[in-house]
Amino acid sequence: MTTQLPMIVQNKMEQHHFERLTPIQEKCFETIKNGEDIVAVSPTGTGKTLAYILPFLDKLEKNETLQLLVLAPSQELAQQIGSVCREWLDVTVQVITGGANVKRQIEQLKKKPEVIVGTPGRLHELMSQTKKIKCHQLKSIVLDEADYLLKEEHLHTVRDIVKRAPSQRQLLFFSATSNDTLEHISKWFNTQANFINVAHQTSNVTHGFIRVEERKRSDILRKLAYVNKMRGLVFVQNVGSLALLYEKMMFENIKVGVLHSDTHHIERKKMLDAFKEGNVTFLLTTDVASRGLDITDLPYVIQYDLPREKDIYLHRAGRTGRMGKSGCVISFVSTKQEIEYKKIVPKNTDIKEYIVKDSILQEKHK
């Protein structure tokens, strides 16, 4: 495939020591480059961001007009996508999210970015109330984590943003999971998009559980903190439970950070950086705050609270084992939850049961 790529793409890949395209990148390249609409499904950690960025290396012009708009569900994901765009695209890129200073964002728009990455709420605000984002030259719109962005609570805002672009705009929907929501895209956006699905890929992620009753979960988490090379993204069901768990871990002198929607965006960035650098053992988070997070070489995802849906399990699990690396997903499961747990784990998964003994995480012998 590499020999068929435009020279500008080959050169950029060489600069980044990027040897070959992943399956999703390969399958999307020509379709996106040709201006066609797509719905692309590929597991988390398989290179979806570059799958839609690479084709634009040869499409974007440095002409001070907005040509590419990327929508993301969270501030962190928008910032990550913005960083990748700046690394790979030789145009002006601006990130616009909620939680940041609006006046400063409006001031930065005077630089006339060719690419804007943002969260729907703030983008819609700047488009509808201040008219500071001009969409008349907009050629392509990407919905990253489309399954989430098209949920009922966001759909109206997202559709209104899309309506502001010219009728001939290109629409690109990317998701880690395929569900009923994606099947309504043609109706909601008047598009006959190409459907690209590379959802079935081999994974180096192991899945297992620790049998523990609810009142003992914080004690098990404390023990896990002393396991060699432990660094885990810990999923908690809501902000209230997260705050309580944070206090317990701090009391036990465990190095812990929090990442949730109520945290100020500067604090969130500090916490995320500290975790990525290995200065924090556990990063406690909720589902909304964690979508799309790309944490290099994350060894563990810990589900302190079980998710209610299979799709959420997949999104959580996708934080580890990215780009073919190994990882482990550990779920805390009570005796009553075991049947429920086995229903949400992907089919044909070899589920292991773990125990923590003498600061060692080991498989329980049956």
Last residue of a domain, one of 197, 226, 252: 197
Helix (H, G, I), strand (E, B) or coil at 258: strand
> Is residue 309 domain-shared with residue 168, that is, in the same domain?
no
Neighbours of 187 (CB within 10 A): 8
State the pLDDT at residue 137: 92
Average pLDDT, the chain: 89
> Is residue 260 domain-shared with residue 154, that is, in the same domain?
no
> Is residue 140 domain-shared with residue 180, that is, in the same domain?
yes
pLDDT in tens, 140-153: 999 999 988 998 88
Confidence of residue 198 (pLDDT cuts 50, 70, 90): confident
State the pLDDT at residue 82: 96
Compute CA 75 distance to the chain's CA centroid, rounded to the nearest angstrom: 10
> Is residue 224 domain-shared with residue 332, that is, in the same domain?
yes
Domain count, the chain: 2
> Is residue 193 domain-shared with residue 298, that is, in the same domain?
no
Confidence of residue 2 (pLDDT cuts 50, 70, 90): very low
> Is residue 236 domain-shared with residue 114, that is, in the same domain?
no
Compute CA 212 distance to the chain's CA centroid, rounded to the nearest angstrom: 29
* Mean pLDDT on 92-118: 93
pLDDT in tens, 288-312: 766 667 787 899 999 999 998 888 8
> Is residue 187 domain-shared with residue 54, that is, in the same domain?
yes
Last residue of a domain, one of 197, 229, 256: 197
Asked whether residue 320 carries a pLDDT value surpassing 90, the answer given is: no
* Mean pLDDT on 318-330: 83
Which runs of E-coded beta strand occur in the chain?
Answer: 38-41, 68-71, 93-96, 115-118, 140-144, 170-175, 194-197, 205-211, 232-235, 256-259, 282-285, 300-303, 327-333, 351-357, 360-363
Locate 52 and state its tokens: 């839609």
pLDDT in tens, 26-40: 999 999 999 999 999
Tell me the C-alpha distance between 298 and 309, whole Å: 23
> Is residue 244 domain-shared with residue 186, that is, in the same domain?
no
> Is residue 247 domain-shared with residue 337, that is, in the same domain?
yes
Opening angle at CA 183, ends 178 and 189, nearest 5: 125
State the pLDDT at residue 84: 94
Residues 6+ apart with CB under 8 A from 329: 205, 206, 207, 208, 300, 301, 302, 303, 316, 317, 320
Compute CA 85 distance to the chain's CA centroid, rounded to the nearest angstrom: 15
> Is residue 42 domain-shared with residue 82, that is, in the same domain?
yes
State the pLDDT at residue 312: 87
The fraction of the chain above a pLDDT of 90, given in percent, is 60
Locate 141 and state its tokens: 């719109």
Confidence of residue 76 (pLDDT cuts 50, 70, 90): confident
37: domain CATH number?
3.40.50.300
Last residue of a domain, one of 142, 164, 197: 197
pLDDT in tens, 240-265: 999 999 999 999 999 999 987 666 76
Asked whether residue 1 carries a pLDDT value surpassing 50, the answer given is: no
State the pLDDT at residue 309: 85
The fraction of the chain above a pLDDT of 70, given in percent, is 95
Range of the domain at 169: 2-197
Confidence of residue 201 (pLDDT cuts 50, 70, 90): low
Confidence of residue 3 (pLDDT cuts 50, 70, 90): very low
> Is residue 79 domain-shared with residue 144, that is, in the same domain?
yes
Element (H or E) spanning 158, and its range?
A: helix 152-163
Tell me the C-alpha distance between 6 and 60, whole Å: 14
Q: Which candidate, 226, 278, 228, places its Cα nearest to that of 257? A: 278
> Is residue 79 domain-shared with residue 166, that is, in the same domain?
yes
* Mean pLDDT on 36-59: 91
State the pLDDT at residue 330: 96
pLDDT in tens, 155-192: 999 999 999 999 999 999 999 887 777 888 988 898 88
> By the 8 A CB rule, do 287 and 307 touch?
yes
Asked whether residue 336 carries a pLDDT value surpassing 50, the answer given is: yes
Antiparallel, parallel or unpaired: β 351-357 and 232-235 = unpaired
Sheet holding 38-41, edge to edge: 93-96, 115-118, 68-71, 140-144, 170-175, 38-41, 194-197
State the pLDDT at residue 231: 94
